[in-house]
Amino acid sequence: MNNNGGTTTISASEQAELCKKDGNFKFSKERFAAAIEAYTEAITLCPDVPVYWTNRALCHRKREEWGRAEEDCRKALELDSNSTKMQPVGLFVRLNHTTISLGIDVYGCWLIL
């Protein structure tokens, strides 16, 4: 309720941020399936925010769900190709998913180092 007796509505982006915070809390407690649900809700509300995809990818990585982690990494990088957080995570996921040729294609500069 707001001060005028009506209900207060929050925007989709505000709701998505609340979902992200919930996901972060669940991730910190190693409740990765629950964190995935929270990040998925954030993605549903605001699919163009790369950090939601990144965070969900990290959950999939913890669960060794390499294909799903790779999909989320790819989407996060589509949205923000300069993500310094996602590039090393994406490489790690790709190497563990044994798709090294894709890793070389997208992350060649990391492999050269």
User: What are the residue ranges spanned by the domains of the chain?
Assistant: 12-102
Report the candidate in 22, 14, 25 with the shortest Cα–Cα distance to residue 49.
14
This prediction has a pTM of 0.72
Over residues 5-64, the pLDDT tens digits come to 667 799 999 999 999 999 999 999 999 999 999 999 999 999 999 999 999 998 998 998
- Residue in the structure block whose two tokens are 């991730």: 27
Pair of tokens at residue 62:
């913890």
Q: Which homologous superfamily does the CATH classification assign to the domain defined by 12-102?
A: Tetratricopeptide repeat domain (1.25.40.10)
Query: How many CA atoms, within 13 angstroms, populate the side-chain half-sphere of residue 97?
Result: 24
Query: Is the pLDDT reported for residue 4 higher than 90?
Result: no
**Residue 83 vs residue 35, higher pLDDT:** 35
Over residues 31-48, the pLDDT tens digits come to 999 999 999 999 999 999
Let me know if 109 is exposed, middle or buried by CB neighbors in 10 A (0-12, 13-18, 19+). Answer: exposed
